[in-house]
């Protein structure tokens, strides 16, 4: 298991709600030995003007997953993870339902983490693939 300690989905979903992920309705769905997953509704909050999922909303889901995963790997008392770089390829439009992101590590180092995030529609077809690099820095005093 890659996590610093045991976590559960209820704990992750019980985080404060005054952030962008909560505003878009992102909820964590599963924690595995080496992955984290979450889903996000595709609706008026996440649509772009043409009635399909906004690419930026997919990036918010990807960065939320990778950032939370990084925080689960490190000692919170000593370090924090901050996004360094993210990219995304939007592969197919999604009009409704949910998209589910699955985040897995590509690299977990002492100073950087790199996460692979794949986002799927309700039919299990990939709609977006993203990579997030997180810098691990000492917690400010």
DSSP 3-state assignment of 129? strand
Is 90 exceeded by the pLDDT of residue 30?
yes
Mean pLDDT across 93-108: 98
Question: Can you list the domains of the chain with their CATH numbers?
Answer: 9-138 (3.10.129.10)
CA dist 114 and 110 (Å) reads 11
pLDDT, position 96? 98
Is 90 exceeded by the pLDDT of residue 141?
no
What percent of the chain has a predicted confidence (pLDDT) above 70? Answer: 100
Among 6, 11, 27, 63, the active-site one is 63
Which pTM does this prediction carry? Answer: 0.96
Mean pLDDT across 43-52: 96
Cβ atoms within 10 Å of 107's Cβ, excluding its own: 10
Three state DSSP letters for 23-76: HCCCEEEEECCCCEEEEEEECCCCECCCCCECHHHHHHHHHHHHHHHHHHHCCC
- Annotated catalytic, 63? yes
């Amino acid at each position: 298991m890659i996590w610093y300690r045991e976590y559960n989905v209820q704990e992750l979903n019980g985080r404060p709600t005054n952030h962008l992920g909560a505003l878009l309705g992102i909820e964590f769905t599963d924690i595995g030995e080496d992955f984290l997953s979450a889903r996000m509704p595709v609706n008026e909050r996440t649509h772009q003007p043409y009635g399909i999922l906004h690419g930026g909303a997919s990036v918010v889901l990807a960065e939320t997953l990778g950032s939370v995963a990084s925080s689960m790997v490190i000692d919170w008392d000593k370090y924090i993870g901050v996004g360094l770089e993210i990219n995304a390829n939007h592969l197919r439009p999604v009009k409704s339902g949910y998209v589910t992101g699955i985040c897995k590590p590509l690299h977990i180092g002492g100073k950087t983490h790199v996460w692979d995030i794949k986002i799927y529609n309700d039919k299990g077809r990939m709609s977006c693939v993203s990579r997030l690099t997180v810098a691990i820095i000492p917690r400010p005093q």
